[in-house]
Amino acid sequence: MTAPATGRIDLVLIHPGGRRQVYQTLADDLTAVEPPLWCRLLAAYCRMRGNSVAIIDSEADGLDPSTVADRVAELDPRLVALVVYGHQPSASTQSMPAAGAIARTVKEISPDCPIILIGGHVAALPERTLHEEAVDFAATGEGPVTLDALLRALKSDGPFDVAEVPGIVHWHTAENGSREIRRTSAAPLVEDLDHDLGGDAWDLLPMEKYRAHNWQCFGAMDTRMPYASIYTTLGCPYKCSFCCINAPFGKNGYRFRSPDAVLAEIDLLIARYGVRTFKIVDEMFVLNERHVTAICEGLIPRNAALGGALNFWAYARVDTVKPAMLEMLRHAGIRWLALGIESGSKHVRDGAKKALRSEDIVGIVRAIQQAGINVIGNYIFGLPDDDLDSMRETLDLAKELNCEFANFYSAMAYPGSPLYTQAVAKGWDLPDDWSGYSQHSFNCKPLATEKLTAAEVLGFRDHAFTEYFTNPRYLKMVDQRFGSRTNQNIQDMVKHKLARKLLIEQHEAIM
């Protein structure tokens, strides 16, 4: 955290964290501690416009709400922005309990300090967020234009007119004392990503505290730090029913940074912080071939100059990865590709608007592996058309593919996704609180289907995790690919048993 030497600071951006509540014991040494992308982008955008800015990363620094509130009081900012995003777009909702606790504590210590909430969850449910949280404003869009306009209004010598700030909901008090929520006009999306969302605010972050996921550094665990995450595109053109990524943007879309700007940022991180291990946070990096090719062609000589030490991971789709691109990706330092396979059942995939053929999935996974790139298979249990047989199909496909790592998720109706709209309209049973949207939390509560209870979906998901990572074929592959130490790391990982409220209640009901 960096603040100006003298004078009042304009803006404090807070990354709320709450990693232990979200991931339970997995948070200790298995999960990533990732630089907060949107805190950094918002900081750079506002600082470029003459505002003094500080970032408090409560996750990286391990701060409780009281300590965060004390730091805010010391800085005495004109505005506090709680930026509610997680490791991936769907993780915004699970961060709300930590954000809410910080907001309440800041208000207790600094009651006159204005607070705005920004993030995917907030943009999906702005009015509800304002009702539920101890904040003054909630952003209805992505945030940069809104934040700058709000700061200008707060710093103005004239009367403060919140109605002139685009992209927020706020409380309005009528002459009779009654209060109502009002929404201002929508804020425009940032168009020039290179200039306005370049994100060079790394000096505001505790860079020495970020680490990669354990799997990204299989075979070389000492390379998990230093670590950085960068973006090359914002948004996604696809319309998967379970995805909420476009909630802050208001539409499906795909905005690009120039390859030169991406490479310049990578150069900065290599030179200034010694970073070799990166995440590309794009929802879909391997999509536009010209964009990907330009970045990879720039990375190849950089990776060669570093002796092949670069280690990137990125998202892709089975139907966007072209075999001809794979050698280029590997030489550029792309060592891991995450594929959204979702289900082993074609019927279930079609229902989720993820139309892929099983033979295409197997073929592209094998091609990626043969190119020397590791694959993370992402699978979802409990999609609307799932039953026990189709979930078993998914697990069997995962074991057949035998990817170097796998993520197993339960289907969630995340706010901002078409599935959430459908769930609310049909009165489906949703989680009791926002922490229930975390895949790994004690309160995790996935969607029930017509044939499965939420507990059955969650129980199968947890069983699938254990069955996959204790499969002798998988462990043999890990041993051959990454060595015995990584094999032992996997076995230690499986020993972490997640406590689940739903499964405890199910067990008690049976007893």
Alpha helix (H) residue ranges in 306-432: 326-331, 346-351, 358-370, 388-401, 418-426
Cβ-Cβ contacts under 8 Å for 458 (sequence gap 6 or more): 410, 444, 445, 446, 500, 502, 503
Compute and round to an integer the Cα radius of gyration of the chain.
Answer: 23
Please give the structure tokens belonging to residue 102.
């910080």
Query: Residue 339's beta-bridge partner residues?
Result: 316, 377
Q: Are strands 115-119 and 405-410 parallel, antiparallel or unpaired?
A: unpaired
Residue 321, helix vs strand vs coil: coil
Q: DSSP string covering 332-360, please?
A: TTEEEEEEEEE-S-HHHHHHTT----HHH
* 65 and 18 Cβ atoms separated by less than 8 Å: no
pTM equals: 0.92
Which residues belong to CATH 3.20.20.70 in the chain? 211-424
Q: DSSP string covering 53-81, please?
A: EEEEEHHHHT--HHHHHHHHHHH--SEEE
Residue 465, helix vs strand vs coil: helix
Cα 234 from Cα 255, distance rounded (Å): 5
Please identify which residue in the block is written with the tokens 């990166």: 278
Cβ-Cβ contacts under 8 Å for 273 (sequence gap 6 or more): 202, 207, 226, 228
* ∠ Cα 509 510 511 (to 5°): 90
Residue 82, helix vs strand vs coil: strand
Q: What is the pLDDT of residue 3?
A: 43
Question: What fold is seen in the domain 211-424?
Answer: TIM Barrel (3.20.20)
Q: What is the pLDDT of residue 1?
A: 45
Distances (CA, A) of 434 to 122, 228, 289, 413, 491: 12, 28, 38, 12, 31
Please identify which residue in the block is written with the tokens 């008690």: 508
* 172 and 182 Cβ atoms separated by less than 8 Å: yes
Please identify which residue in the block is written with the tokens 């706010």: 415
Q: Is the peptide bond before 446 cis (omega within 30 degrees of 0)?
A: no
* ∠ Cα 218 465 509 (to 5°): 150
* 139 and 184 Cβ atoms separated by less than 8 Å: no
Cα 388 from Cα 392, distance rounded (Å): 6
Measuring CA to CA, which residue among 358, 341, 410 is closest to residue 381?
410
Phi, psi (5° rounding) for residue 505?
A: -65, -40
36 CB burial (10 A radius; 0-12, 13-18, 19+):
buried
Which residues belong to CATH 3.40.50.280 in the chain? 11-183
Three-state SS annotation for 10-59? CEEEEECCCHHHHHHHHHCCCCCECCCHHHHHHHHHHHHCCCCEEEEEHH
Q: Catalogue the E-assigned strands of 142-186.
A: 168-173, 179-183
Length of the chain as a residue count: 511
Name the CATH superfamily for 11-183. Answer: Cobalamin-binding domain (3.40.50.280)
Q: What is the pLDDT along the chain (511 residues), one digit of tens a residue?
A: 444 444 589 999 999 976 555 554 555 566 889 999 999 999 999 999 999 999 999 999 999 999 999 999 999 999 999 999 876 656 789 899 999 999 999 999 999 999 999 999 999 999 999 999 999 999 999 999 999 999 999 998 877 788 899 999 999 888 888 889 999 999 999 999 999 998 789 999 999 999 999 999 999 999 999 999 999 999 888 887 878 888 888 888 889 999 999 999 999 999 999 999 999 999 889 999 999 999 999 999 999 999 999 999 999 988 889 999 999 999 999 999 999 887 776 656 554 444 566 778 889 999 999 999 999 999 999 988 899 999 999 999 999 999 999 999 999 999 999 889 999 999 999 998 999 999 888 999 999 999 999 999 999 999 999 999 999 999 999 999 999 999 999 999 998 888 899 998 887 777 5
Per 3-state DSSP, the chain is made up of helix, strand and coil in percentages (nearest 5) of: 45, 15, 40
Q: What is the pLDDT of residue 355?
A: 53
